[in-house]
């Protein structure tokens, strides 16, 4: 698996990019263009040369990618000097159409367009990024890597909602799951820490970042996951509510007079920790809780209780759990969250080690008591590396 991959993550108003050595995962240069479409845009870029930061108006995604490529020329590494073998595109929603990473051609782009109704917030920008990059970098294969793909193995009973049967066929109503790129990476790493193959490994993976999800992994495959048809379902997140009573929409529509679009926006952008606390940063929540802030204490309890509930549920789904794995910005860094989620679960064979849990280490590591029947692991995720690996596997296949 040799060569470098330009990994692109195009959002509606931003383009994140990074140049990754697919063999080692080493990032050779990366950056971000922000506020695309605004007169006051911005870019930063880190490479071997001096760091670049500039305020610059950014017309559109084409302009953003031009700025990215220019930054590689100016601050390095120049793309001509590395063996660029592929471009890997992060795509949020693959629907039922894309169950694996795919080499992009016109037909694939058409397929992605057909999925826009399922992911109106994310997929249009992903498509825009792909189209622009194919035009500007025509000499290398472009590979789309989907957040949903790892969950293509969900059994029917796990991905089927109990709604009129025809909705699945006619409107794509089913659970898809997200964060799959991260979970796939973390499963391999966790298996390695446990000294097993992924096929021998049952895990509960908790990806806790701004978005958050839990996944039950049986013999290396996803069999249940907390995000559903969209990334809104499941755990409490930075700005998303996670699970609510589905009757909430109707209730608020009737009593507050809000439109469905507005309620959708409020549940995605103004809820979760942001809604409870006015801040979506877990560090801030933990700090305020330690200062005795009542509301921060409630937000912390709601956040951790939801995760704990899912751990119990997925334990029952799996029957045997080899490890509970924490990843993502919160999972990797927040000892208080890990503690609150798993405290008192000795009866389930889960015993956190207080010293290991709070040790200032960064690599993949156990944080459970050596005698714990179920290991507890912290595994830093690396979605860019996973996308780079996929781009090489599929692009050079």
Residue pointed to by tokens 């000892």: 335
* Helix axes of 294-318 and 335-342: crossing angle, nearest 10 degrees: 60
Stretch that binds ligand ADP, among 35-43, 79-87, 289-297, 328-336 (CB under 6 A): 328-336
Site string for ligand ADP, 277-296 (x = CB under 6 A): ----xxx-------------
What is the β-pairing status of strands 84-91 and 102-103? unpaired
Residue pointed to by tokens 């495959």: 221
Q: From the list 9, 101, 222, 334, which residue makes contact with ligand ADP (rule: CB under 6 A)?
A: 334
- Which is nearer to ligand ADP, 202 or 334 (by Cβ)? 334
* Interface with ligand ADP: number of residues (CB under 6 A): 12
* Shortest Å, Cβ 319 to ligand ADP: 30
Tokens representing 295 are 């509301």
Residues identified as active-site: 147
- Which is nearer to ligand ADP, 13 or 333 (by Cβ)? 333
Q: Site residues for ligand ADP, window 197-226 (CB under 6 A)?
A: 209-211
Four-residue CA torsion sign, 18, 94, 211, 346: negative
Stretch that binds ligand ADP, among 143-151, 224-232, 299-307, 323-331 (CB under 6 A): 323-331
- Which is nearer to ligand ADP, 31 or 329 (by Cβ)? 329
Does position 329 interact with ligand ADP (CB under 6 A)? The reply is yes
* Shortest Å, Cβ 3 to ligand ADP: 25
What are the backbone dihedrals phi and psi of residue 384, each rounded to the nearest 5 degrees, phi first? -65, -40
d(CA 392, CA 397): 7
* Shortest Å, Cβ 184 to ligand ADP: 16
- Which is nearer to ligand ADP, 238 or 242 (by Cβ)? 238
Does position 328 interact with ligand ADP (CB under 6 A)? The reply is yes
Site string for ligand ADP, 223-252 (x = CB under 6 A): ---------------x--------------
What are the backbone dihedrals phi and psi of residue 86, each rounded to the nearest 5 degrees, phi first? -165, 160
* Shortest Å, Cβ 25 to ligand ADP: 16
CB 186 within 8 A of CB 207: yes
List the one residue out of 221, 220, 227, 192 whose CA is nearest residue 206.
227
* Shortest Å, Cβ 167 to ligand ADP: 30
Q: From the list 20, 132, 137, 330, which residue makes contact with ligand ADP (rule: CB under 6 A)?
A: 330
* Shortest Å, Cβ 14 to ligand ADP: 11
Four-residue CA torsion sign, 301, 326, 373, 363: negative
CB 39 within 8 A of CB 85: no
Count of C-beta atoms within a 10 Å radius of residue 266:
16
Rounded to 10 degrees, the C-alpha dihedral 251/164/149/86 comes to -90
Q: Which residue minimizes CB distance to ligand ADP?
A: 329
What does the DSSP 8-state code read for residue 245?
-
d(CA 161, CA 169): 12
- Which is nearer to ligand ADP, 95 or 380 (by Cβ)? 380
Binding residues for ligand ADP (CB under 6 A):
209-211, 238, 281-283, 328-330, 333-334
């Amino acid at each position: 698996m040799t060569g470098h991959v330009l990994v692109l993550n195009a959002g509606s108003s931003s383009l994140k990019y990074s140049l990754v050595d697919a063999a080692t995962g080493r990032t050779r240069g990366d950056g971000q263009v922000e506020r695309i479409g605004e007169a006051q845009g911005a870019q930063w870029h880190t490479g071997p040369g001096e760091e670049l930061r500039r305020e610059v108006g950014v017309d559109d995604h084409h302009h953003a990618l031009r700025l990215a490529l220019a930054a590689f020329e100016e601050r390095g590494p120049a793309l001509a000097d590395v063996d660029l073998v592929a471009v890997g595109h992060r795509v949020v929603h693959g629907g039922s159409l894309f169950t694996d990473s795919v080499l992009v051609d016109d037909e694939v782009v058409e397929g992605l367009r057909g999925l826009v109704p399922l992911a109106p917030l994310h997929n249009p920008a992903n498509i825009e990024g792909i189209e622009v990059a194919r035009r500007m970098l025509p000499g290398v294969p472009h590979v789309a890597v989907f957040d949903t793909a790892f969950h293509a193995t969900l059994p029917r009973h796990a991905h089927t909602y109990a709604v009129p049967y025809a909705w699945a066929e006619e409107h794509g109503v089913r659970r898809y799951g997200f964060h799959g790129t991260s979970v796939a990476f973390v499963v391999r790493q966790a298996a390695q820490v446990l000294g097993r193959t992924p096929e021998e490994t049952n895990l509960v993976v908790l990806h806790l970042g701004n978005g958050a999800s839990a996944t039950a992994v049986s013999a290396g495959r996803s069999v249940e996951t907390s995000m559903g048809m969209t990334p809104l379902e499941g755990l409490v997140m930075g700005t998303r509510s996670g699970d609510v009573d589905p009757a909430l929409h109707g209730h608020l529509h009737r009593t507050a007079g809000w439109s469905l679009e507005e309620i959708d926006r409020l549940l995605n952008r103004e809820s979760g920790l942001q809604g409870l606390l006015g801040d979506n940063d877990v560090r801030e929540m933990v700090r305020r809780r330690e200062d005795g802030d009542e509301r921060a204490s409630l937000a912390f309890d709601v956040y951790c209780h939801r995760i704990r509930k899912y751990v119990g549920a997925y334990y029952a789904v799996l029957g045997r759990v080899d490890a509970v794995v924490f990843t993502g910005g919160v999972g990797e860094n927040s000892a208080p969250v890990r503690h609150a989620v798993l405290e008192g679960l000795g009866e389930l064979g889960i015993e956190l080690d207080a010293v290991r849990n709070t040790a200032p280490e960064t690599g993949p590591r156990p944080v459970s008591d050596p005698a714990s029947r179920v290991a507890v692991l912290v595994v830093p995720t690396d979605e860019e590396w996973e996308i780079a690996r996929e781009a090489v596997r599929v692009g050079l296949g």
